[in-house]
Amino acid sequence: MATPPLIFVLNGPNLNLLGSREPEIYGSDTLDEIAERLSEQAGALGVSVEIRQSNHEGHLIDWLHEAQAVGARAVIINPGGYSHTSVALHDAVKAISTPVIEVHLSDPETRESFRHTDLVALAANQVIKGKGVTGYALALDAAARL
C-alpha cells in the first residue's frame, strides 16, 4: 500500500496556549483539539499530517527545510507573531519549493497596526485568516488538492 502524501502543520509561538490565551480573539479550542480534528480530516482526505508547535523561530525554519527534504506535499503554517517580525521565516518559506499555506485564527489586519505587515504572507502561496479553527480545515483541504 502506498504511503499517503505528507503535509506538515507548523504552529509558532504561544499557540501551545490556545484555549486559555485570549479566547475572545483565538477561540476556546486547544491546539491538541485542533490537531485531533486535522488528523481525522487528513485520514478522510487520504493524506497524513505531521503537526508540530514551537516557540522558537529556528525550529520552525528547520521544519520548513525538513518538509522539503522529505518531499512533503505542502506546509500549513501559523507563524503567530513571527508573521510580523521574521525576515528569516519569510526567507525560509521563499527558499523551499514545497507549497506553503499560512493560517491565522484571527484577521491581523483588523487588529493592532503592528500586525498589519505580514512578512511570511509575502512568500506563502496562500493565506487564510480570520476564519478561526476553520482556517486550518480550509488549509488542509487546499493542501490535499495540490
In tens, the pLDDT along 46-58 reads: 999 999 999 999 9
Q: Measure the CA–CA gap between 55 and 36, rounded to whole angstroms.
A: 20
Residue of 26, 82, 90, 136 marked catalytic: 26
**CB of 42 within 8 A of CB of 7?**
yes
32 grid coordinates: 491538541
pLDDT of residue 131: 96
- Does the annotation list 78 as a binding residue? yes
Domains in the chain: ranges and CATH: 6-145 (3.40.50.9100)
CA 64/CA 105 separation, integer angstroms: 20
Global pTM value = 0.94
16 is in an annotated binding site: no
Residue 59 labelled as part of a binding site: no
Round to whole Å and give the CA distance between 107 and 89.
20
Read off the pLDDT of each residue in 52-75 and give the average, rounded to a whole number.
98
Kindly tell me if the per-residue pLDDT of 24 is higher than 90: no
